[in-house]
Amino acid sequence: MSELPRFSDSDLPAVFRSADLASLSAQRAYLRLVRADLALIVLSAGVASWAVSSPEIRTVLAILAALLLAAGLVLTGIILQTEHDRNWFAARAVAESVKTVAWRYMTGAEPYETNLLDRDADDLFCRELDAILRERRAIASILGGKDASGHQITDMMRSVRSADTATRKEAYGRDRIQDQRRWYAKKAGVNKALSDRWLISIGVVQLLGAGAAIALVRWPEFKFNAAAVLAALAAALLAWLQLKQHQELAHSYGLAAHELGLIEARAAHVRSDSDLSSFVADAENAISREHTMWTARRDTAS
């Protein structure tokens, strides 16, 4: 058995790299807009919460609050028009689908069995990539960039496919299953910590809001309604938590890591190309299932 160099995302088809970059870019743009929109809502609540005696100042504050809300309305319109969230999900679906097909091709899993002629396997693989792109044709405009002219079947992909069964199994276990398991496990931990942090923050803000409301009863002459601002802040934090779905992701990523671990334990019994094909199919189905559930949750949330 010969040992292959480590396989990385840069060795995947050019369409994967384009979709991966497009997804990350759309995600960043969408989250920036949502953060700004929520911040404007909280700022507007803060401005409107001043109970000043001067009519002129009250007028200025009212106008400022209205302008902040109007700016938020504009941002909401931009969010709806640009559809960064849909582009984020769609591009990620393309990237993950391409990754799955590429690993099936490299390992000789069904339908890319090693008894196929290279020409036939390559043709089948390219047809599959074309089908993936056609299914998501709405995002074709964001899949440009420098990677658009790269190879769809890279030299490293051909090297893995041409290796013997044991070498392909080793490369798949190391660079696909173990790499994906580590990613799932890390993300599960990160999302659990973030979920706890955000929930504690929301609880603290709510507690402060309750205290501010009581204080306003005790000192009604106070000019600033902090309770209203803290209520708006708590609502904004809760909206952000729901958007990020840290709790759900911690749970699903943790389960996916364990499921891949159970599949990986069967690697010792892989002896033939047929065994490897079944092994890869089970692993890729597990990965695809988690991603499909993620996409469904995101579609429901949006």
Cβ 165 vs Cβ 272: under 8 Å: yes
CB burial readout 233-252, b (16+ within 10 A) else e: bbbbbbebbebbbbbbbbeb
d(CA 40, CA 48): 12
pLDDT at position 272: 94
Cβ 7 vs Cβ 160: under 8 Å: yes
**Can you give the residue ranges of every domain in the chain?**
10-301
The single-letter code of the amino acid at 109 is A
Cβ 184 vs Cβ 254: under 8 Å: yes
Average pLDDT over the chain, rounded to an integer? 91
Neighbour count for residue 282 (Cβ, 10 Å) = 16
Which 3-state string (H, E, C) describes 64-115?
Answer: HHHHHHHHHHHHHHHHHHHCHHHHHHHHHHHHHHHHHHHHHHHHCCCCCCCC
d(CA 300, CA 293): 11
pLDDT at position 296: 63
Of residues 242 and 1, more confidence is placed in 242
Per-residue pLDDT, averaged over 5-27, amounts to 93
Per-residue pLDDT, averaged over 17-38, amounts to 95
Confidence of residue 150 (pLDDT cuts 50, 70, 90): confident
Residue-wise pLDDT for 61-91, tens only, equals 999 999 999 999 999 999 999 999 999 999 9
Does residue 146 register a pLDDT over 80? no
pLDDT at position 3: 78
The single-letter code of the amino acid at 116 is L
Residue-wise pLDDT for 222-252, tens only, equals 888 999 999 999 999 999 999 999 999 999 9
The distance of Cα 91 from the centroid of its chain, to the nearest Å, equals: 10
Does residue 257 register a pLDDT over 90? yes
From residue 273, alpha-carbon distances to 43, 112, 167, 177, 280 in Å are 62, 11, 11, 18, 10
Q: Which two tokens stand for residue 244?
A: 């990020």
